[in-house]
Structure 1
Amino acid sequence: MDSIQFDIDAVIQRLLNEAYGLLGALPLLALALLVVWLAWMVGRWLSRRTLLERLARRNPFLRELARTTAHWAATLIGVLVALEIMDATSLVGAVLGTAGVLGVALGFAFKETLENYLAGILMSIRQPFSPRDHVVIDGNEGLVIALTSRATILMTPDGNHLRLPNALVFRSVTLNYTRNPSRRFEFDVGLGGGEDLLQAQQIGIERLEQLDGVLQAPPPRAFISALGDSNVQLRYHGWVDQRSHDFLLVRSEAMRQVIAALDEAGMDMPEPIYRLHLHERAQPLPGAPISSGERRPAPAAGVDTRVTADLAEQIEQEQRVRDEEDLLDPNAPKE
């Protein structure tokens, strides 16, 4: 019993010594906490300086990142000074070692998230496209709505909302139809082998030059593209200014007008021929195809090919309800 009583006294004495040491270290602990608080306030003051605003004035994402980095960097310096005051610098190595192992584990666990975040930073600096640019990214076509820290948001031609991870956008080939407003269209027309092909080319070019929405420079062109089984393929080219006219509407109207011009000139545009054996005379069905020997009806009045705004209201609505800041700046230098 005496030995047991002696051991208990030793434990109590050890606890008392630790308590006395803690009480003696309270002034240093208070000083260390004061240093950390001052470092926090200094970091907060630095994060509000106009210098950071000037460094990233065109990029809200980088501006916020610079503020956060300056704030936490000053706080970290304060923590290191506080540990030095408490004579606990050996703890720094253990903490850094643990943080390194934890960082590696989190890096593997959140690899895709970190890739998207880093790609968002790089693209916000490079500005590869602007809001409402018509782009094709990895086979996905649409108008750019916004660039966030994690994803690029598109509005497809069908009006659907498309969200692409920034890492995918960053490493994919991007086709931007808007960057160069002039865009070339083309289409083929099959003519009979006995027709004057040079005359057919000239007729189509003259009709394209008269079409509203087709640019005069570069001028429309035509050439023989292929020899078919029963015809010769002529290919017509024209250029559209996408700022004022709709590409698809101009191409559609160009095809209609060129076909009408060739038909008016009596050019033979052969169609597939099928041989039918009937026992009695059949009446032509409504809407049946016209044989190659008959004339087509005269073309209708011209079609309005100006730019349409089918998706404009939907994009504006999407931008109004978004709660994330857009990292794209229409006035920033483009890549």
Structure 2
Amino acid sequence: MTQQNSSFEPIAILTNQLSEMGRGVIAMLPNIAIAVVLLGITWAVARFASQISEKITKGADMRQSLRELIELAVKFSIWAVGLLISGTVLLPNLTLSSIIAGLGVGTVAIGFAFKDVFENFMAGILFMLREKMRIGDYIGCDGIEGRVEQISLRETHLRKTSNELAVVPNSVLFKNPIEILTDKDKRRFELIIGVSYDTDLARASDIISKAVEGSDAIDQEKPIDVFATEFNSSSVDFRVRWWSGSEKRDEHVSRDAMIRTIKSALDREGIEIPYPYQTHTFKEPMKLASND
């Protein structure tokens, strides 16, 4: 008889525990109902606040991604407050200090685990707050060039001239210098032109200047510069500078026009653009082999 009673003891203990849990759940039903109602109110308030935020930001002169960030921040703030209130109703022993302490420890652990993610996230927020580098700008950074198609909280999409899409983490753009090539309507370009050493440099400079000034591929209102810059191995080099449109195609078109125009002008005047060559000097006279 004693053995039979001992075999039923675990079942009795489990039954008592389930009964106590059931009574606890029943006792918490009012709190659960209130917490659910609070969550419903939080959802409604967050939706209404998001609509109000959208109407306010739509009239402001800001990029779309920044408007989405503001709406997300409004929703997050309302939901954080709503969840905090619902949690204290559902668990009365839960205090604000314990929540803050738990969040502190959890934040440190999550921060180390998702360091790169948070770094890109913060960089994305800073990019959205900047006035520079807008959608449609052509930029270059860390060897990557392309037109900005999208700026999100984690990454930036650049469309290359070859139509490839480069997805660049925001932290890369934030840590490295960015060249915004289309920040202004006009940019200055330059080209190195070499002439032979027996050339009259003043005459060559005048010919190059007139050739550049007569081209339709450049901005005639901006200054044109022709400077003799270097004694090279087989030529004296001129640096030619002009202004044209800031788009990447404008650079290619104007550079092509300058090379063609300057080459034609120098050829007409008989001025040589020399090939690179080397002069070898020997200490002893060289003996040529005889054909005999």
Structure 1 length-normalised TM: 0.67
**Tell me, which stretches of 5 or more residues in structure 2 are unaligned?**
280-287
- State the shift of 1:17 in Å: 7.8
* Distance change >3 Å, CA 163–CA 37, structure 1 → 2: closer
Closer/same/farther in 2, CA of residues 123 and 42 from structure 1, 3 Å limit: same
Whole-Å separation in 2 of the counterparts to 1:20 and 1:245: 76
Asked if the contact 1:213–1:241 (Cα under 8 Å) also holds between the matched residues in 2, the reply is: no
- Tell me which of 50, 72, 76 is aligned to 1:47: 50
Q: CA deviation at 1:84?
A: 5.2
Corresponding residue for 1:233?
A: 237
Q: What is the distance in 2 between the residues matched to 1:278 and 1:145?
A: 68
- Tell me the residue number matched to 2:210: 206
CA distance in 2, matches of 1:272, 1:23: 94
Q: Would the aligned equivalents of 1:209 and 1:216 in 2 still touch at CA under 8 Å?
A: yes
Q: Which amino acid aligns with 1:40?
A: W
Asked if structure 1 preserves the Cα contact closer than 8 Å seen for 2:233 and 2:276, the reply is: no
- Sort the Cα spacing of 1:21 and 1:262 in 2 relative to 1 into closer, same or farther, 3 A: closer
Per-residue CA distance 1:136-174 (angstroms, 9 max, x = gap): 111212222222332112222333221111111122111
Aligned length: 277
Aligned to 1:297: none
User: Which residue does 1:147 correspond to in 2?
Assistant: 151
Which 10-residue stretch deviates more, 91-100 or 137-146?
A: 91-100
Q: Determine if contact 1:224/1:234 at 8 Å carries over to the other structure.
A: yes
Q: Which one has more relative contact order, counting CA pairs under 8 Å at least 6 apart?
A: 1
Give deviations 1:113-147, integer Å, cap 9, x for gaps: 12112222221221432334222111212222222
Q: Which residue of 1 aligns with 2:114?
A: 110
> Which residue identity does 2:119 align to in structure 1?
E
The question of whether the paired residues in 2 share the 8 Å contact of 1:135 and 1:174 is answered with yes
1:35 and 2:31 matched: no
Equivalences for residues 1-335 of structure 1 within 5 A: 23=26, 26-49=29-52, 51-55=53-57, 58-82=62-86, 88-242=92-246, 246-272=250-276
170-179 or 234-243: which moved more? 234-243
Q: Cα offset for 1:54?
A: 1.3
State the identity as a percent: 27
Cα distance in 2, alignment partners of residues 279 and 158 from structure 1: 58
What TM-score results when the alignment is normalised by the length of structure 2?
Answer: 0.75
Partner Cα separation in structure 1 for residue 148 and residue 255 of structure 2: 24
